Amino acid sequence: QVTLRESGPALVKPTQTLTLTCAFSGFSLSTTAMSVGWVRQPPGKALEWLALIDRDDEKLYSTSLKTRLTISKDSSKNQVVLTMTNMEPVDTGTYYCIRIHNSGWFDNWGQGALVTVSS
C-alpha cells in the first residue's frame, strides 16, 4: 500500500523560507521508475504542479516558480524535501506530496499540509 505524508510548519512569515517534508512508504525511489513531487492548492482555487524528483536525481520545476523552489531526496529514509524561498501571502494553501507514474499521471496523493503565510 502506497502512502505519502506531508509535514512542515502550518504558519510562516512573509519573506521566510518554507521547508516541507514528504515521508512515503509502499515503494522505493531508488528502484522504481516512479517520481515524487509536489502540487499546491490555494483555498478555493485550482491545483498547481510545483516540482518533481526521480530516482536518478533528475529534477523538474514549474517554470513560474523555479527560481524559488528546490527539491531533494533521501532515498534511504524514503523522504523528499521541498523548499520554497521568499514566501508571500499568495503562497498560502494546501501543499500535496504526490507519486508520479513514469508515464506522468499522479497516481497517489498525500493528505496535504495547509500552510498559511502571514505576519
Partner 1 sequence: ELVLTQSPGTLSLSPGERATLSCRASQSISSNYLAWYQQRPGQAPRLLVFAGSSRATGIPDRFSGSGFGTDFTLTISRLEPEDFAVYYCQQYSKSFTFGGGTKVEIK
| Cα gap 99→108, rounded to integer Å | 5
Q: Which of 111, 107, 110, 117 is nearest to 78 (CA)?
A: 110
Cell of 85: 524561498
Identify which of residues 37 and 87 has a Cβ nearer to partner 1 in the complex: 37
Residue 62 vs 70, nearer CB to partner 1: 62
Q: Shortest Cβ distance from residue 101 to partner 1 (Å)?
A: 7
- 57-116 positions binding partner 1, by CB under 8 A: 60, 62-63, 96, 101, 103-112
Draw the binding track, 33-52, toward partner 1 (x: CB under 8 A; -: no contact). -------------xxxx---
Residue number, 31 or 105, with CB nearest to partner 1 = 105
- What's the start-to-end Cα distance of the chain, in Å? 39
CB within 8 Å of 25: residues ≥ 6 apart? 1, 2, 3, 78
**Which residues of this chain interact with partner 1, rule CB under 8 A?**
46-49, 60, 62-63, 96, 101, 103-112
